């Protein structure tokens, strides 16, 4: 079903814009950097035109597209943005082939009942980690929701994909998911958030904050 609500965005931290996902679409984040513009989790193809319009109100070009993981509701429109901006897709090394082949791990047919069109150019994260650091982007491996799930630190904000939500955690029962891994990732993020994170920016729903971890740790106790 097409979503006719207009997308909204708001500034949530230094140079990060949030385009809130509607219905089951994910939140998309745009980092307007001093040197590069980076789009994170473009989302479902359905909202491409409306989301693109919002993006172009903020920046004229996108240099990289990063997926926090390969699930279809985060990566389904990768190919559209890649064609439009000529930007490479970056995803954790262990999910490159899942994305390129639209494997079961993407949930495209299994959960979303859609024919996924994979992006043409996919770069394994390991090849560009150092380059991303130069743009002040730090990647944290946070397996559990999927094996190659990542979180992204930019300034005082932490983009968590489907690993951590404002008041809960992501599912661990999909292919390559693991509850044990997820618990470890939440503990890892706790340390990072306690140090210097003010905004927790999840893949779905509202933003979290410093207290997010204390809510979700109760789920595991």
Phi and psi at residue 49, to the nearest 5°:
-60, -45
Task: Give yes or no for residue 95 binding Zn ion (CB under 5 A).
Answer: no
- Locus of tokens 């306690």: 194
Task: Give yes or no for residue 204 binding Zn ion (CB under 5 A).
Answer: no
Shortest separation between residue 192's beta carbon and Zn ion, angstroms: 20
Q: Residue 86 CB: number of other CB atoms within 10 A?
A: 11
User: 133 and 175 in contact (C-beta within 8 Å)?
Assistant: no
- Taking contact as CB under 5 A, which single stretch among the options 15-23, 35-43, 68-76, 90-98 is the one that binds Zn ion? 68-76
Q: Which two tokens stand for residue 112?
A: 């979303």
Closest CA to 32 of 48, 50, 55, 52: 55
Helix or strand or coil: residue 179? helix
Shortest separation between residue 37's beta carbon and Zn ion, angstroms: 24
DSSP class of residue 26?
P
Q: Which two tokens stand for residue 196?
A: 């210097």
- Taking contact as CB under 5 A, which single stretch among the options 5-13, 56-64, 82-90, 162-170 is the one that binds Zn ion? 162-170
Shortest separation between residue 196's beta carbon and Zn ion, angstroms: 26
Nearer to Zn ion, 11 or 180 (CB): 180
Angle among Cα 194, 199, 200 to the nearest 5 degrees reads 80
Task: Give yes or no for residue 98 binding Zn ion (CB under 5 A).
Answer: no
Nearer to Zn ion, 18 or 71 (CB): 71
Measure the CA–CA gap between 149 and 129, rounded to whole angstroms.
15
User: Pattern 23-62, binding to Zn ion, x per CB under 5 A?
Assistant: ----------------------------------------
Shortest separation between residue 51's beta carbon and Zn ion, angstroms: 18
Among 18, 22, 36, 71, binds Zn ion (CB under 5 A): 71
Instruction: State the residues that interact with Zn ion by CB under 5 A.
Output: 71, 162
């Amino acid at each position: 079903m097409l979503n006719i609500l207009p997308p909204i965005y708001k500034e949530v931290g230094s140079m990060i814009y949030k385009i809130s996902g509607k219905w089951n679409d994910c939140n998309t984040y745009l980092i307007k950097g001093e040197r590069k513009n980076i789009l994170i989790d473009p989302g479902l193809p359905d909202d491409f035109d409306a989301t693109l319009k919002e993006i172009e109100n903020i920046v004229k070009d996108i240099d990289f597209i990063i997926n926090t993981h390969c699930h279809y509701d985060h990566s389904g429109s990768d190919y559209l943005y890649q064609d439009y901006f000529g930007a490479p897709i970056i995803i954790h090394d262990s999910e490159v082939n899942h994305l390129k082949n639209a494997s079961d791990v993407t949930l495209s047919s299994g959960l979303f009942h859609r024919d996924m069109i994979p992006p043409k150019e996919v770069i394994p994260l390991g090849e560009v980690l150092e380059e991303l650091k130069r743009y002040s982007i730090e990647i944290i491996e946070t397996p559990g929701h999927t094996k190659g799930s990542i979180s992204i630190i930019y300034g005082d904000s932490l983009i968590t994909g489907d690993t951590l939500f404002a008041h809960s955690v992501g599912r661990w029962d999909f292919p390559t998911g693991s509850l044990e891994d997820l618990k470890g990732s939440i503990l890892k993020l706790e340390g990072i958030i306690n140090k210097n994170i003010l905004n927790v920016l999840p893949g779905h729903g509202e933003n979290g904050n410093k207290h997010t971890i204390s809510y979700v740790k109760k789920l595991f106790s």
